Amino acid sequence: MKSIIPALALLIILNTANQAYAQAKDSIAEKYIFTKVIDLPASPVKDQYASGTCWSFATTSFIESELIRLTKDTFDLSEMYFARKAYEAKAKQFVRLHGTANFGQGGQAHDVMNIVKTSGIMTEADYSGLANGQTKPSHSELEAVLTAMVGALAKNPGGKLSPEWSNAISAVLDVYMGQVPASGSNPAKAELLKKINPDDYVEITSYSHHPYYSKFILEVPDNWSDNVYYNVTPDELVQIMDYSLEKGYTIAWDGDVSDKGFSHKNSVAIVPEVNIDKITGTEKSKWEKLTEKERKAQFYSFEKPVPEKNITTEMRQAAFDDFSATDDHLMHITGTVTDQNGKRYFKTKNSWAPDSNSNGGYLNISEAYIRLNTIAIMVNKDAIPKEIRKKLELK
């Protein structure tokens, strides 16, 4: 008997281990399994930290990939240089329009290109935009100070503004972000940076409240500079994205990440097919007893591929009109992947730090999510199919 008990215990342990392995194996089989299809060169993931400057991080990353494509050289550009210049430009517009413009940390991809055109590009080594011992950007206090200043100036105190008010704005930015050097320290790099021609890049959207193939000022708060966007059909928007990546061009993406199908933590963004109206009988009774969190978990599983909605033009337009899809975040699309069922996703570089998820700061966005929640994209004009360029009258 003494020899049987250890043997029996061993059998129980082995059986338990086998069951655990089988369960783990089944669980792994159900999880997302992504296969790389297109993977274009990109710079390392950075962290925007406590600053509303995703627009600068995404577009700067986009430019860095363009420079790799154009020069075969790598660059670490200063996101805070573009943020600094944008603060100055927004302050001037806000005051000159007597406080009727938008002022804040947000922006759009074209803000970076507008600054490239007027003020050039600065490398991270030459201008970090971090002062007073900061190691990561934090702009809450800076924004509060600047907002108070431009608000007071816009009220035109004393009936006449002094010519020094814009210098006062710059002085505050010097304190919080550091002074901008007169020029870069690497002439060879500076020469290569000239390869970026802002006129080579356009922003494209897709909404039916304006005629397709027209240009219009996109009605989002962060389009404070009133830049124009080209309008195409939703199918053509996706076609442009596919063509761009296939030809070796990355994409600056502007869209909504407040949708509950967006999970940076789980490295996916999806639009699950949810039809509660079809729940009847005992299943409906069970549904009504669930908490909101439990209900969400029924449909928004980020553990394995799930059926997704077929996004129509009407759904996309409704999401824009009722503010469920807003321009709350910009990221950088650098490729495509497929899951184990062959469904395609867009590989997307975020600016929430490399350790913000288990995918190195990247996530995979489904086509359904792209169709519903894309506000706009920026691409090189050469990354647009010829037939669409012709419709848009782009040379």
Distance in angstroms (rounded) separating the CA atoms of residues 239 and 241: 5
For residue 342 the two structure tokens come to: 């062959």
Cβ contact 376:394 at 8 Å: no
Distance in angstroms (rounded) separating the CA atoms of residues 120 and 193: 8
For residue 282 the two structure tokens come to: 């005992």
Residue 90 burial class via C-beta count within 10 angstroms: exposed 0-12, middle 13-18, buried 19 and up: buried
Whether residue 321 lies inside any domain: the answer is yes
Can you give the pLDDT at residue 299?
A: 64
Per-residue pLDDT of the chain (395 residues; tens, 9 = 90+): 334 345 444 444 445 444 543 443 333 345 899 999 999 999 999 999 999 999 999 999 999 999 999 999 999 999 999 999 999 999 999 999 999 999 999 999 999 999 999 999 999 999 999 998 999 999 999 999 999 999 999 988 777 888 899 999 999 999 999 999 998 888 888 899 999 999 999 999 999 999 999 999 999 999 999 999 999 999 999 999 999 999 999 999 999 999 989 999 999 999 998 666 656 666 667 767 777 667 666 666 688 888 899 999 999 999 999 999 999 999 999 999 999 999 999 999 999 999 999 999 999 999 999 999 999 999 999 999 999 999 999 98
Distance in angstroms (rounded) separating the CA atoms of residues 355 and 332: 17
Whether residue 282 lies inside any domain: the answer is no
Whether residue 287 lies inside any domain: the answer is no
Whether residue 257 lies inside any domain: the answer is yes
Can you give the pLDDT at residue 13?
A: 46
First to last CA, the chain: 90
Can you give the pLDDT at residue 281?
A: 66
Whether residue 276 lies inside any domain: the answer is no
CATH number at 143 reads 3.90.70.10
Distance in angstroms (rounded) separating the CA atoms of residues 194 and 200: 12
List the domain range (segments joined by +) for residue 333. 30-271+308-392
Whether residue 266 lies inside any domain: the answer is yes
Whether residue 170 lies inside any domain: the answer is yes
Whether residue 16 lies inside any domain: the answer is no
Can you give the pLDDT at residue 275?
A: 61
| Number of compact structural domains in the chain | 1
Half-sphere exposure of 12 (CA within 13 A, CB side): 6
